[in-house]
């Protein structure tokens, strides 16, 4: 079949059914935008989890009224451990100041004395140590003289991991829904335009057009719908992300100490390609159902 004729007949289809296609592409773009946003959230969650997994740390809370010399000795002991990368002593005063700086809660909190905030030692773990090993280390540190409590953040890490796997399930569900949505919308658009072009389809068949000749433009139109919708969604997502990147980063770095990342080129290409692919298959199926040749 001649490509020129195929393209020009598909273009004519778009011109004649412009409103139908604008509505279809817009709703598909919204669906793809949801999917893209879900993937973006998942990607960043994954990045956070990876960073936390790599750079584990432990907070060692000290008993009240410990002498500075004892604190220094304890810090030295901790620094001497094989798994420990560095230590930092945080006095009650410093803990209070840090808390106030972060929360901006105002007067009534500011009146809290330093004694409310226990002194602690932040212990950075060398990279590559597993969560289980960190847990064991925390238990060992907890038994040391002068230590009141040890926070290994294992609960946090586990929460993040379960959040991540829930996110993956959620994104998969959204992807399936979006797939169905594209199927339904493209299939319906094709069905409508078959109905509207009944006369010209009849004419083509009477003039000796093959099935492929009649079907070709509909399939091209399905592909273009899917392609256009997913590309529009990617463009909108990128525009939103890069416009808000500064804000995202400042919010992000407080909590997790990483920068927000955008979807990689491979994932973007997959998103656009799957739009085209689903568009093609759903128009083909719809033709098989509604175009009686």
Partner 1 sequence: MVSNRESRGGRPFAFFRAGARVGAEGAERPILAFEDVYKFFGKDQPALRGLNLTIERGEFVFLTGPSGAGKSTLLKLVYRELTVDSGRILFCGRDIARLTDRSIPFLRRNLGIVFQDFKVVPHWTVFENVAIALEILELPARLVRSRVGEALERVGLSGRGDERVGTLSGGEQQRVAVARAIVSEPALLLADEPTGNLDPTLAVDVLTLFEEIHQTGTTVLFATHDHGLIERRDHRILSLEQGRVYDVRRGLASWSSSGVHAVREARRAAG
List residues near partner 1 by CB under 8 A. 1-2, 4-5, 9, 16, 199-200, 202-210, 213
| Least distance between partner 1 and beta carbon 215 (Å) | 13
Judged by beta carbon, residue 12 or residue 51, the one nearer partner 1 is 12
| Least distance between partner 1 and beta carbon 26 (Å) | 24
**Cα 199 to the chain's mean position, in Å?**
47
Judged by beta carbon, residue 3 or residue 110, the one nearer partner 1 is 3
Q: Residue 211: is it exposed, middle or buried by C-beta count within 10 angstroms (0-12/13-18/19+)?
A: exposed
CB 280 within 8 A of CB 219: yes
Judged by beta carbon, residue 192 or residue 204, the one nearer partner 1 is 204
Q: Residue 263: is it exposed, middle or buried by C-beta count within 10 angstroms (0-12/13-18/19+)?
A: buried
Please name the helix (run of DSSP H) or strand (run of DSSP E) that holds residue 223, with its range, or none. Answer: helix 211-243
| Least distance between partner 1 and beta carbon 281 (Å) | 23
Q: Provide the 10 A C-beta neighbour count for residue 135.
A: 15
Judged by beta carbon, residue 9 or residue 57, the one nearer partner 1 is 9
Judged by beta carbon, residue 6 or residue 71, the one nearer partner 1 is 6
**Cα 235 to the chain's mean position, in Å?**
16
Name which of 81, 53, 50, 60 is nearest 123 in CA terms.
60
Q: In the sheet where 120-125 sits, what is the strand order?
A: 84-90, 120-125, 57-62, 147-151
| Least distance between partner 1 and beta carbon 29 (Å) | 28
| Least distance between partner 1 and beta carbon 225 (Å) | 21
Judged by beta carbon, residue 184 or residue 192, the one nearer partner 1 is 192
CB 151 within 8 A of CB 58: yes
User: Phi-psi region for residue 104, left (φ > 0), alpha (ψ -120 to 50) or beta?
Assistant: left
Measured distance CA(171)–CA(167) in Å, rounded: 6
Q: Provide the 10 A C-beta neighbour count for residue 100.
A: 15
Judged by beta carbon, residue 13 or residue 226, the one nearer partner 1 is 13
| Least distance between partner 1 and beta carbon 9 (Å) | 8
Q: Provide the 10 A C-beta neighbour count for residue 226.
A: 30
| Least distance between partner 1 and beta carbon 7 (Å) | 12
């Amino acid at each position: 079949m001649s490509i020129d004729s195929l393209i020009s007949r598909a273009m004519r289809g778009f011109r004649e059914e412009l409103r139908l296609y604008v509505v279809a592409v817009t709703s598909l773009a919204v669906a793809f935008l949801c999917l893209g946003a879900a993937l973006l959230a998942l990607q960043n969650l994954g990045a956070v989890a990876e960073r936390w997994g790599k750079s584990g740390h432990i907070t060692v809370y000290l008993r009240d009224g410990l002498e500075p010399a004892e604190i220094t000795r304890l810090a030295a002991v901790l620094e001497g451990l094989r798994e420990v990368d560095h230590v930092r002593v945080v006095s009650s005063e410093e803990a209070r100041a840090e808390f106030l700086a972060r929360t901006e809660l105002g007067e009534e909190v500011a009146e809290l004395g330093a004694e409310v905030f226990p002194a602690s030692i932040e212990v950075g773990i060398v990279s590559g140590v597993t969560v289980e090993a960190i847990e064991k280390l925390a238990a060992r540190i907890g038994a040391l003289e002068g230590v009141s409590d040890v926070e290994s953040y294992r609960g946090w890490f586990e929460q993040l991991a379960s959040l991540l796997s829930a996110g993956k399930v959620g994104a998969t569900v959204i992807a399936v829904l979006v797939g169905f949505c594209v199927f339904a919308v493209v299939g319906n658009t094709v069905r409508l335009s078959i109905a509207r072009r009944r006369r010209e389809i009849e004419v083509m068949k009477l003039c000796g057009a093959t099935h492929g000749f009649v079907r070709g433009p509909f399939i091209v139109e399905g592909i273009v719908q899917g392609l256009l919708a997913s590309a529009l969604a990617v463009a909108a997502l990128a525009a939103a992300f890069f416009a808000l990147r500064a804000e995202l980063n400042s919010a992000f770095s407080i909590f997790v100490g990483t920068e927000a990342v955008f979807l990689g080129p491979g994932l973007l290409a997959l998103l656009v390609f799957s739009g085209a692919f689903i568009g093609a298959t759903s128009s083909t199926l719809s033709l098989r159902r509604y175009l009686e040749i």
